[in-house]
Amino acid sequence: MIRFIATRLLWAVVLLLAITMVCYSLFFLVPSNPGTTGRGTDRESINLRESVEIDGPIYKQYGLFLWRIGHGSFGDSWVNERDVNSVLLDAMPVTLSVVLGGVIMWILLAVPIGILSALRPRSMLDRLATIFVLIGVSAHPVWLGLVLSYLLGYKAHLFPVGGGYCDLTTTQYFCGGFVQWFWHLVLPWLTFAALYAALYARMIRASVIETMNEDYVRTARAKGASAWQVLRSHVLRNAMLPVVTMLGMDLGYWMANVLFIETVFSLPGAGRLLTQSLARRDLPVLMAITVFVSLLIVMLNLFIDVVYGVLDPRVRIGGDKDERRTPLAGRTRAAVSPAKQPA
């Protein structure tokens, strides 16, 4: 297991280096004049380029860029001359609050709905889940957020209509603390959860139904194991493998949809900061957001790889290359007797 984690960690470092190289090429090697960010004279533009050290040989520029990232510094903003780290520290807690809360909410919705739909196919719950899937897959985050704001905020008066964000730790103008923080984020969490809970509920349903038809599940039932023991020990662990794989593929979509959710609910997160920085051509802030989000996605993918290795030991113990890559490969080959295998 240690060797498996070390290998994944090494690839994560290589991927991060590749990401920083691509980002640096896109942002700083493309011809651009920092003076167009609001500093009018040519002398001010030259001083700005010298302050961010984007003059000189390319290898020197990239080396200084990596050195700054390694020391946790992205320089100063080209617009307001604030330290980029402080700008990110103001915005990222909002975005992470929306993402983490939304993920927890859609897991609490998707897993029970998917399992119950699989245990009772073609029932009323299964049909309602199908409608839920169609709405969740077809709806845009902006439309869904506006609908939830109208129904639960304006009509039902359960949540604030205008959105906004209340800090979790400090209280200002009666907006702060855990209760206000939670109350203002319920609608963004519901919007985020509805986009993914529907799709994952259907995926869990299909995976559970497929797993329940496997030979080892029938064997466990024939030995007298209860339905709960079969579901917990044999079905769920194998049924979650495709779901965990899809989680790693959807991490980028999470951060993309947060941009729309923050816009609808007026949340001062990284999404709104990204749009403002694009409009102002504030390249250091754009670079910091890109690198930070890429680092977050790489680390989450590393965590998902470890979880996948825990769920399926064949991924980490080696063996055939195809067997390591496809979770069902080993099981399929084991089901074929040696006499029936081709020579």
- Please report which helix (H) or strand (E) contains residue 176, including its range: strand 175-176
**Does 113 fall in a domain?**
yes
**Does 318 fall in a domain?**
no
**Does 5 fall in a domain?**
no
**Does 163 fall in a domain?**
yes
- Provide the phi-psi class of 120: left if phi over 0, else alpha when psi is between -120 and 50, else beta: beta
Q: Is the pTM of this model over 0.85?
A: no
| Chain segment 221-278, per-residue pLDDT in tens | 888 888 888 888 888 878 888 888 787 777 777 877 888 888 888 888 888 888 888 8
- Total domains in the chain come to 1
**CATH number of the structural domain spanning residue 177:** 1.10.3720.10
| Chain segment 98-126, per-residue pLDDT in tens | 988 988 888 888 888 888 888 888 888 88
**What letter would DSSP give residue 169?**
S
The model's confidence at residue 32, banded by pLDDT at 50, 70 and 90, is low
Q: Is residue 332's pLDDT more than 60?
A: no
**Does 39 fall in a domain?**
no
**Does 342 fall in a domain?**
no
Which spans in 72-140 are helix H? 84-119, 124-138
Q: What is the DSSP code string of 318-340?
A: ---HHHHH-TTHHHHHHHS-GGG
State mean pLDDT over 306-319: 67
**Does 336 fall in a domain?**
no
**Does 239 fall in a domain?**
yes
Rounded Cα distance between 49 and 127, Å, is: 60
> The domain containing residue 237 runs over which residues?
94-282
| Chain segment 63-81, per-residue pLDDT in tens | 887 888 877 777 788 787 7
Q: What is the pLDDT of residue 189?
A: 92
| Chain segment 317-327, per-residue pLDDT in tens | 554 444 444 44
